Amino acid sequence: MSNNPIGIFDSGLGGLTVWREVRRQLPNEDIVYFADSRNCPYGPKSPDEIVRLARTIADGLLDAGCKLIIVACNTATAAAIDELRAAYSVPFVGMEPAIKQAALHTRSGKVGVLATKGTFNGRLYKATSQKYARNIDVMVQIGDGLVELVEANEYNGPKALPLLQKYIGPMLEHGVDQIVLGCTHYPFFKPQIEALAGPQVTVIDPAPAVARHAADLLAEHSLLNTDSRCVTDVFASSGSTSTMAALLTSITGRKYKRGMLQMGGNQYDCLR
């Protein structure tokens, strides 16, 4: 099993920010990434529908031999992580808004969280906030429209800045000194948010902590791949891979070849 790949999935392309960090921290691991772009975004969907989609994807990743699965989607984590852990024997790693980190490091006692409606309504967010931020002034903001800009590869386009100003401006006026990115799509906007917020505000991407947790679980279960051979990444999608190819090239500088991947009895377009 230690030679088997790690699986990562998201409602779309935002989880590539998690893949990037996992690849950096776990350079010997093969990775299969799945973007459910056909059903993106997950934010407006019901919890039952998200659970159904997540279980279908998990079945496919397990069929591909994955030894650990990262749910690189805050909304899917909120709706489905408990069901996934109960249904399967492999370890699952989920996303949580980094409320604890923000609460520990705030100087003003005021923290902003940018996330989706599904994340804010989830048990994990509520439990984490209650545990770590009970005495912190937390300002929440739903980032409507940001996921769609990433999915269209327009996160650096003219539509992005007005939305970010609309969402981040009130947080800055309120005096927050920590902004938590509570959706894996949002780190694509991190440079713009940092430019708007200025050096006195820390913008927190939870991906590094998620990658560290995955590494710890692999070590705990004796699943770390110590083979130094050339590793492989496979990126599959339930929709088009065109935008994924462009985003990956912007992240890595590489060109990717298109192909097909068999997962759970279905064939998906993929990049290698």
DSSP letter string, 34-50 = EE-GGG---TTS-HHHH
pLDDT at 129: 86
Query: Could you tell me the pTM of the whole model?
Result: 0.91
Q: Where in the sequence is the domain holding 240, given as residue range(s)?
A: 6-94+208-271
Collect all residues with Cβ–Cβ distance below 8 Å to 242 and sequence separation of at least 6.
Answer: none
Q: So which residues are the catalytic ones?
A: 73, 183
Is residue 1 in a domain? Answer: no
One domain, residues 156 and 223: no
Which mean pLDDT values do the consecutive 10-residue runs of the chain (272 residues) have? 94 96 96 96 92 97 97 93 96 90 94 88 80 90 94 94 97 97 95 97 96 97 85 95 93 94 92 96
Taking CA atoms, 212 is separated from 3, 77, 112, 252, 261, in Å, by: 19, 17, 24, 21, 28
Tokens encoding 183: 């959706």
Whole-angstrom Cα distance, residue 3 to residue 171? 45
Per-residue DSSP letter, 270: E
pLDDT at 219: 96
- Write down which residue in 162, 181, 205 finishes a domain: 205
pLDDT at 228: 65
